[in-house]
């Protein structure tokens, strides 16, 4: 006996080889808003909460797209044509069907043809239970699936091109004689390599180098052409196939996910709030008219050794901070969330700055400008202890402390890169400080920084004497 047909068999959809799953948790517009928030610099968790989905769903969207917005959801993408039904219209159809309205009445309410409504009710109906129930969310999901026009990735269909790209990304390095050199053994962990960790040795051509070189190696073969963006998408976007995700370890950055440009430019460390950015620094610090505004930084050496530098902007007077290593460095494992045994952790730097700068009159410690290094995480406590306002440069903007950067270059004559700075005592630093402050400077009218700072000290003491 032949089984009876189900109502769902009348749906105008082809039989799928396997189940497409269930409708997504959010509509296309939610995803578009999600990627707009990512483009504005928000994290995937914050963007997900903003559009009304869980952080886990946002993280899944972000990883599935390789960290970059799909073209169809980008802010620059064209909106759907008016000839297609939108989600609001499907909600109206579902409401009218629940109220028992007919197809022609629904068509008149929406200003659509009755045949459009009829096809919609069959083609995009929910058929899992064997019926033809109409739900707006399910209908929208079916419509979006049907609207996809998947195009085979070039690297997936062209074996010769795929082999060339893989060879120049992950091909082994070799000595001039041709023998391959394996290099360190590095396991793929699905994320970026850690700091100061071995990395995989490979030819490691960039996607742009590969794309441009194809024209030189295959000048007459138009099938051997691919853009660098297509290579990036083949590496990062799930479902594009062709290239294995592990090959991202061969890129220069080694990132397992792409980073949106706006996110890379956003404010850096969590301890830096807008109230302490350099834009809030008094204008008198910028024109160098009033002494007492300082710039600071660390110069690093071998084995994570370091020396702190403080430079006064008006007089170019320099003071060095002695940052010796703590007991147990190199012998004991560092305690999690404990002090940095190398000697330039937040607590050690705060203490060194406070001890050094509090030897000056209050008029000569008006502000201190630093980069957004973690060594200044205790800047709020430093402000209380030393009475100096602390400001931070914008991320990746060393020119905003140009005086300090120039002084660090002069100090490298005494403390070259790649040398162990922990071997220098406090007396050594005092001698270098005296030598640097004793050099005449063109910008000071050939006076020395020591002479200019002495004049500022005298003016400060005179000011105190006349006001008391």
Domain ranges across the chain: 7-147, 154-259, 274-467
Confidence of residue 465 (pLDDT cuts 50, 70, 90): very low
Query: pTM above 0.85?
Result: no
Note whether 414 and 388 are within 8 A (CB): no
At the fourth CATH level, the homologous superfamily of domain 274-467 is Ribonuclease H-like superfamily/Ribonuclease H (3.30.420.10)
Lowest-confidence region among 3-12, 287-296, 341-350:
3-12
Confidence of residue 467 (pLDDT cuts 50, 70, 90): very low
Confidence of residue 466 (pLDDT cuts 50, 70, 90): very low
Instruction: Tell me which range, 62-76, 80-94, 280-294, is most confidently predicted by mean pLDDT.
Output: 280-294
Q: Around Cβ 283, how many Cβ atoms within 10 Å?
A: 8
Average pLDDT over residues 446-467: 80
- The beta-carbon contacts of 223-232 under 8 Å, at least 24 apart in sequence, are 223/158, 223/160, 223/161, 224/158, 224/160, 224/161, 224/164, 226/154, 226/155, 226/161, 226/165, 230/153, 230/154, 230/155, 231/155, 231/165, 231/207, 232/66, 232/207, 232/258
């Amino acid at each position: 006996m032949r089984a009876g047909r189900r109502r769902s068999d009348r749906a105008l959809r082809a039989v799928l080889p396997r189940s497409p799953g269930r409708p997504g948790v959010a509509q296309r517009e939610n995803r578009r808003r999600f990627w707009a928030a990512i483009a504005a610099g928000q994290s995937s968790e914050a963007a997900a909460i903003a559009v009304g989905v869980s952080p886990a769903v946002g993280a899944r969207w972000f990883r599935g797209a390789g960290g970059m917005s799909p073209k169809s959801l980008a802010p620059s993408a064209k909106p759907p044509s008016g000839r297609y039904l939108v989600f609001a219209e499907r909600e109206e159809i579902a409401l009218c069907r629940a109220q028992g309205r007919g197809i022609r009445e629904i068509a008149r309410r929406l200003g659509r043809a009755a045949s459009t409504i009829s096809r919609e009710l069959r083609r995009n109906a929910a058929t899992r239970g064997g019926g033809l129930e109409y739900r707006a969310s399910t209908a929208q999901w079916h419509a979006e699936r049907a609207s996809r026009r998947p195009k085979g990735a070039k690297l997936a269909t062209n074996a010769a091109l795929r082999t060339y790209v893989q060879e120049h990304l992950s091909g082994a390095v070799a000595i001039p004689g041709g023998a391959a050199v394996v290099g360190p053994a590095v396991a793929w962990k699905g994320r970026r390599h850690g700091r100061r960790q071995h990395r995989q040795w490979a030819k490691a051509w960039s996607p742009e180098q590969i794309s441009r070189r194809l024209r030189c190696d295959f000048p007459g073969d138009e099938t051997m052409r691919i853009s660098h963006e297509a290579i990036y998408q083949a590496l990062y976007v799930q479902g594009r196939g062709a290239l294995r995700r592990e090959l991202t370890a061969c890129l220069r950055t080694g990132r397992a996910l792409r980073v949106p440009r706006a996110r890379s430019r956003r404010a850096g460390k969590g301890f830096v709030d807008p109230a302490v950015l350099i834009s809030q620094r008094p204008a008198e610090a910028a024109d160098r008219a009033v002494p007492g505004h300082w710039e600071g930084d660390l110069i690093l050496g071998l084995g994570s050794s370091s020396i702190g530098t403080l430079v006064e902007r008006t007089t170019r007077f320099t003071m060095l901070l002695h940052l010796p290593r703590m007991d147990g460095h190199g012998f004991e494992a560092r305690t999690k969330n404990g002090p940095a045994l190398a000697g330039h952790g937040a607590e050690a730097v705060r203490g060194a700055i406070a001890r050094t700068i509090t030897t000056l009159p209050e008029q000569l410690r008006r502000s201190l400008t630093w980069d957004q290094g973690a060594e200044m995480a205790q800047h709020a406590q430093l402000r209380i202890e030393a009475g100096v306002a602390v400001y931070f440069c914008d991320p990746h903007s060393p020119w905003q402390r140009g005086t300090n950067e120039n002084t660090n270059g002069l100090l490298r004559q005494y403390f070259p890169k790649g040398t162990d700075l922990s071997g220098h005592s406090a007396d050594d630093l005092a001698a270098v400080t005296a030598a640097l402050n004793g050099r005449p400077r063109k910008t000071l009218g050939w006076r020395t920084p020591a002479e200019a700072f002495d004049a500022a000290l005298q003016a400060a003491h005179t000011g105190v004497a006349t006001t008391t």
